[in-house]
Structure 1
Amino acid sequence: MTRRTLVVTAVAAEADSVAGGLAIPWPGAGTSPLPGGYVLRRHTGPATHPAVDGPVVDVLVAGVGPAAAAAATSTALAHATALAHPYDLVVSAGIAGGFLPHAPIGTVVVSDAVVAADLGAQTPDGYLAVEELGFGRSAHPVAPGLAGAVAEALADGGLRHVVGPVLTVSTVTGTAGRAAELAGRHPGAAAEAMEGFGVAEAAAAYGVPVVEIRAVSNAVGPRDRAAWRIGEALAALRHAFQLVGQTLFVEPEESSSCPS
């Protein structure tokens, strides 16, 4: 058995909720600087075996958008690998817009795929993803056992959740037409956010499995700031990481040891 080490990436306010959730089962935490000015907040869990130290979860504050998220995640992965303590799992976390009716406000979405929703080309015949253009990729599937283990931890804690694709966009949806277009192009899509695909690309480069966990703060569609429930979503995100910190992050999962 070896010590389990994970990294969770999020933007600043969301990282506070993640760290707050982890601090409930694991009160001890410290900070560690990374090249590029990034900072990790390290949470160490209790040992579950006499011969193995407790698991470690590093919370990494990354920037907004897929490029910034990829840069931060790659830096953390490279640093851990150089120290001969590579990560076992990468998690992209935060709040998101939810596609109705699959993911109403307050729901936690667990990705079964991380999808770059607008990485392709518009043509007279419609949108073409990069795969259809003959180069690149626009989706990272999540190992079913990994997504299932996260969902099981949330279900056991009584937290409302759904499993489905999480779309990464560089421009947040603000109209009903755009929401319908994305939902039609990506059947079953549960949420829309801005960082997951960048995180997944970095994880794939290092052969590390990835999953995205998002709490829904608003519906994907027309921008109605009066209807946003950011506080509720951040509280749900905090609760989600309290639950996975007590279960999934503690015991190695055979299914999550395989790259997605």
Structure 2
Amino acid sequence: MTLLVVTAVEAEAQAVRAGLRQPVAAASGAEPPQRAPVTVAAAGVGAAAIAAGTARLLTLAEAAGDPYQAVVLAGIAGGFPGRAPVGATVLAAHSIAADLGADSPEGFIPLDDLGFGTTIAPADPALLARLRAALPTAITGDILTVNTVTGTAQGVQTLAGRFPAAVAEGMEGYGVARAAAAASVPFAELRTISNAIGPRDRAAWRIPDALAALTAAARALGA
């Protein structure tokens, strides 16, 4: 399987490459001359940027006659307290655009209820099963994609109530999932937890530990 792994930022891409037996770096839009089984690219922060970057990489590979067979979004994320502790590895059963919809006096209305599409992108079952087998201690649940990261206790409570299966939140998963779906390529999302979702406490963030956990998890991608 030729696999494209996309991350938001270069630090995450470097952590993934460090865990691969055959590391390959590709800038967004670049064409590797001889592609190894796994290609890693930092494709942008936020759902829109990373969707555009992922779509470009997929299109270039297809145009070259060597399409990718799967896409994995990998990176660090915030974990829901009591569901995914700092340092944990999590896999998405679904990547969900949690704030894509409309506000109303009665509360938030998701895109699904508005009739304009879906906010839920399920992971490819076979790809998810492969990752779960390679990462037996990983937590599987829903991973939320948000445009504004949650920074209040009330925000955590609201999201936890709306999404009882959610274990983490990031800013890119749903965007990569939509790009993969448009190209008919299997998709999965893998995250490692750097901090608890909620009031911002930078002193409690464990980004180096989460990147180290991402390196360890990346070994499963190259297996």
**1:219 CA drift (Å):** 0.4
**1:72 CA drift (Å):** 0.5
3-state DSSP class of the match of 2:116? coil
Letter in 1 for 2:41: L
**1:60 CA drift (Å):** 1.0
Which residues of 2 match residues 1-260 of structure 1 at below 5 A? Answer: 4-10=1-7, 11-22=9-20, 25-26=21-22, 29-32=23-26, 35=29, 44=36, 56-155=37-136, 160-246=137-223
1:43 and 1:184 map into 2 onto residues whose CA distance is 44
1:111–1:165 Cα contact (<8 Å) kept: yes
1:33–1:40 Cα contact (<8 Å) kept: no
1:133 and 1:15 map into 2 onto residues whose CA distance is 36
2:208 and 2:33 map into 1 onto residues whose CA distance is 22
3-state DSSP class of the match of 1:86? coil
Letter in 1 for 2:84: A
Gaps of 5+ in 1: 45-55, 247-260
Distance 1:218 1:41, change over 3 A: farther
1:240 and 1:41 map into 2 onto residues whose CA distance is 27
Letter in 2 for 1:205: A
Distance 1:134 1:241, change over 3 A: same
2:79–2:196 Cα contact (<8 Å) kept: yes
Output one character per residue of 1:47-106: Cα deviation in whole Å (capped at 9) or x when no partner. Answer: xxxxxxxxx111011111001100100000000110111111000010000012110000
Runs of 4+ deviating beyond 6 Å: 39-43
2:27–2:42 Cα contact (<8 Å) kept: no
2:98–2:145 Cα contact (<8 Å) kept: yes
2:31 and 2:206 map into 1 onto residues whose CA distance is 28
Q: TM-score, normalised by structure 1?
A: 0.81
Distance 1:96 1:41, change over 3 A: farther
Larger radius of gyration between Structure 1 and Structure 2: 1
Distance 1:13 1:30, change over 3 A: closer
Letter in 2 for 1:243: A
Aligned residues: 222
Letter in 2 for 1:13: A
1:40–1:61 Cα contact (<8 Å) kept: no
**1:42 CA drift (Å):** 7.7
**1:145 CA drift (Å):** 3.3
2:54–2:176 Cα contact (<8 Å) kept: yes
Distance 1:73 1:176, change over 3 A: same
2:42 and 2:93 map into 1 onto residues whose CA distance is 23
Output one character per residue of 1:212-232: Cα deviation in whole Å (capped at 9) or x when no partner. Answer: 000000001111111111011
